Structure formats: C-alpha cells, structure tokens
Amino acid sequence: MNNIKRVLGIAVTFCLGLMLASGPLCPQTFAASKEAKIGFALSMTGGAAAYGATQKKGAQLAVDEINAAAGMDGLKIKAVFEDDASVPQQGINVFQKLINADKVSMIIGPTLSNTAKVTDRIAQKAGMPVLGVSNTAPGITEIGNYIFRDSLTEAVVIPHTIKVAKEKFGLKKVAVFYGNDDAFTKGGYHAFMKALKDNGLTVVTEQTFAKGDRDFSPQLTQIKSKKPDAIIVSALVEEASGIINQARQLGIPNSVPIIGGNGFNSPALIKNTGEASEGVVIGAAWNITSALPMNKKFVADFTAKYGNAPDQFAAQAYTGVYIAYNAIKKAGSTTNHKAIRDALAKTKDLDTVLGKYSFTSGRDAGYTPIVQIVKDGKFAVLGE
C-alpha cells in the first residue's frame, strides 16, 4: 500500500511540474469543461417560420464549430432552442422560461420585431442581455441597455436602397404598399417615406394590407392605374410573395421594380414567386457572394451541412453566436449578466461573416448595407 501511495505521489508531482513548466499535459490536469447556456427564441412555426428555421441552422452551425474548437477544457455552449411561434404572447412565455427556469447566460432572438417590442422589456427588467439577430424596427435597442442587435435597422438599410434604386432606374414617382398592423412593416413604411422625401421622389398612392391577407388585387389595381416607376413594399415574406405574384399577374411588368426591405431577404421569396421575382430590389445587410474568407467558409460549411445555401438570416444568427461567445469569454463568467452586457458593448472590429463587426453607442449594428436584386433566380448585388 505504501509503495502504491509513493508511486501515485511521484506521478502527481511529475504532472504538476509539467503543468507549471509547459501547460496542462497530463489528462487529469485538464480543467473541467465550462458551459455557457445560451437561449434562442426563434420563430420556428407560424408566419415567420421561413426566417426562424434558417436562423436555427445558422446558430447551430456556429455552436457546433465553437464546441469542436473548445476541446476538452475550453468554454463550450449549450444551446437552448425555443419556438416563439411568431407571436408576442408565446415569445413572452419563452423569455420567461429562458430567464427563470433555464437561467441562461444571455438570449439570442426573438425573430420578429413585433415580438421583441414586448419580450425585450422582460429581459431588460431582469438584467438579461439580449442580442437580436433579425430585429430591424425602430425602438428596439431604446428599450434598455441590455438590448443589442446585429441586424441593420430599416432606418439604415432603406435610405441606401432608395438612393441606389433612384440612380439605377431613374425613378421619379412611386407607389407605396405596406402592412399597417405590424411593428416591422410600419417601421419600414416610415423609413421608406422619409427616404423617398429625402430623395425627391413623388408618392402617387399609398395602399395598406393586414397580416394574413391573401388577396391584394384591389390595392394593386389602384397602384397599376397610377403608372408608378416602382412599387415600394414593406412586408414580411409571406405577404410579399403574394404581392409580387399578383402584381405580375395583373400586368404590372418586371420592368417596374418592386422594392422591399429586410422582410424580402429570404430564399422563400424566390421559391414562392419564381420568375415573377426577377428584378425585385432588396435592401440587405449581407450577400452570399461576399469574398471575405470567413464568409466563403461559412457558405461552404452551411451548404454541406444542410444541403442548401444560407440566407441573410442564417448569416446574422451565425454571427450572433460568435458575438455572444466572444462577450461571455471576455466577461470571464457565464452567470454575471452585467459583465456579459458590458463585454457585448465593448465589441469592436470583431471578424465575422458580416465583416468587421462593432456595436454603435446605441447597441445597434455598425457596418455598411448593400442593395440586392433578384437575377436569374438568385440574389445578386445591384450594379455588379
């Protein structure tokens, strides 16, 4: 027995000596794996499921990469995915579960601005950091200092889109068509109206619709009679698809561009509309053809894993996980929410698939938008 103790003592002493001299080389000296629990509130069912499904894929890819790179003794992520069903009430239930039951380090989501308007207030009150990866309506980050987003706001994307479209198509007069019962679509409408005014464009008619509408022919008939140079649409992908299809069916030609905001940034739009979407113009925060090495790898890895190419929502969710992970590591804690919040706020020039990433002083995304056009059934950068 004494000999056994003596041998074990020598082994422990040897390993400790190696650890002090050159790092943890002996298996028993590896630190126990730490785990940061991140909650995801995403619209995996309901009206925004087209966005939430691809967000989950992008987030899961990032989680898998991070955990593989962490090895045996690095900080890993435990992802807790919850479905907010595209409605605020379910979003509230999800946030309460993530905060009170799961006790997550921080929350990524929700998918829709409409939901974020109510859920983020719960998180702010609880001192829980939130990173929106698709919220673009005004007033989100103003909820409080624990609320962040990596998605460019419509107030940033839309003015650039209108300026580029005016120059490209020689626009003088336009029609405006928007959803009047949703925070995102109403926010987009106001951003569009300001941008149109700033660019000296005449609005010949304004038409509205409600979420869940299927027949847009009465409004589109009114729009057609005004002979606009373009149709400005603030809509989510489901209604946007119907509007595009019915506009072309009513004889409004593809030469009259339909111009949309962030809600158009889904492959589902092209899938749902086919040739009718040719020439549709979209303000965007990301394009699949970006030459950034990180982006090329992301696109290749995502396509290999899921059998289809990523969209902007996948890219922003993927980026969001890396932003969150970077902040948690810098905070040095998985439970100190204030330290995580402070580390998020200090994010600067982080290399991501969106480019060099920093938060603005208002905790919004700080990088340059682009303008896309549907060309040959794909999103292309307008002008390239």
Q: Which of the four pLDDT bands, split at 50, 70 and 90, describes residue 277?
A: very high
Residues 160 and 278 both lie in one domain? yes
Please write the tens of the pLDDT for every residue from 170-218.
999 999 999 999 888 999 999 999 999 999 999 999 999 999 999 999 9
pLDDT of residue 16: 36
Element (H, E) at 231: strand 230-234
What CATH code is carried by the domain that includes residue 82? 3.40.50.2300
Residue count of the chain: 384
Element (H, E) at 381: strand 378-381
Cα–Cα distance, 255 to 253 (Å, whole number): 5
Contact 140, 163 (CB under 8 A): no
Residues 42 and 146 both lie in one domain? yes
Contact 202, 172 (CB under 8 A): yes
Choice among 17-21, 127-131, 147-151 with the minimum mean pLDDT: 17-21
Residues 122 and 56 both lie in one domain? yes
Residues 241 and 328 both lie in one domain? no
The tally of domains found in the chain comes to 2
- Which of 110, 212, 93, 180 lies closest to 151 in space, CA to CA? 110
Mean pLDDT of the chain: 90
Residues 252 and 350 both lie in one domain? no
Residues 253 and 166 both lie in one domain? yes
Residues 77 and 140 both lie in one domain? yes
Q: Which of the four pLDDT bands, split at 50, 70 and 90, describes residue 8?
A: very low
Last residue of a domain, one of 233, 259, 284: 284
Please write the tens of the pLDDT for every residue from 281-300.
999 999 998 889 999 999 99
Please write the tens of the pLDDT for every residue from 218-263.
999 999 999 999 999 999 999 999 999 999 999 999 999 999 998 8
Collapse the DSSP code of 276 into the 3-class scheme (helix H, G, I; strand E, B; otherwise coil) and give the result. helix
Element (H, E) at 371: strand 370-375
SS (H, E, C) 218-230: HHHHHHHHCCCCE
Cα–Cα distance, 78 to 129 (Å, whole number): 16
Residues 133 and 174 both lie in one domain? no
Element (H, E) at 80: strand 75-83
Residues 135 and 185 both lie in one domain? no
Cα–Cα distance, 339 to 344 (Å, whole number): 9
Is residue 28 a part of any domain in this protein? Answer: no
Summarize the confidence of residues 73-91 as an average pLDDT: 96
Cα–Cα distance, 30 to 239 (Å, whole number): 54
Last residue of a domain, one of 284, 312, 346: 284
Sign of the dihedral through C-alpha 162, 166, 168, 172 = positive
pLDDT of residue 130: 98
Q: Is the pLDDT of residue 22 over 70?
A: no
Domain residues for the domain of 98 are 34-152+290-368
